[in-house]
Amino acid sequence: MNLISSIPLSVQAILLLVASNVFMTFAWYGHLKNMANAPWYMAALVSWGIALFEYLLQVPANRIGFQQAGFQVAQLKIIQEVITLAVFVPFAMVYLKQPFKLDFLWAGLCMVGAVYFIFRGH
């Protein structure tokens, strides 16, 4: 048995979603730092190139999560939103040098509520 097959399918899906979200965050926001002086269309082309890698991870993640791990589509979406916030806040603070805001915490608590409601009864 190899290492990947020993990881539960739900964890495989979540790890792929985390990795895809890192690419997505760089595609959406990385150009604000790296290409601030470039024309917007150049930033868009670079972002599309980065987003390709996001999709190469996100599509299999959602297929594994839905078809094999038994997640419902709404559950996959909420998982993705939680991951988005968990990746975005450190990215904004560390990479883009944005200050921490208490609103990040409140948004996270709202996401906890979303997770509760979408997973209750399962």
Helix, strand, or coil (residue 38): coil
In the chain, the percentage of residues whose pLDDT exceeds 70 is 98
Q: How far apart are CA 42 and CA 3, in angstroms?
A: 40
Q: How far apart are CA 99 and CA 31, in angstroms?
A: 19
Q: How far is CA 94 from CA 47, 87, 91, 104, 113, in A?
A: 20, 11, 5, 14, 27
What would the pLDDT profile of 38-89 be if each residue is shown by its tens digit? 999 999 999 999 999 999 999 999 999 999 999 999 999 999 999 999 999 9
Which of residues 116 and 121 earns the better pLDDT score?
116
Q: How far apart are CA 79 and CA 121, in angstroms?
A: 16
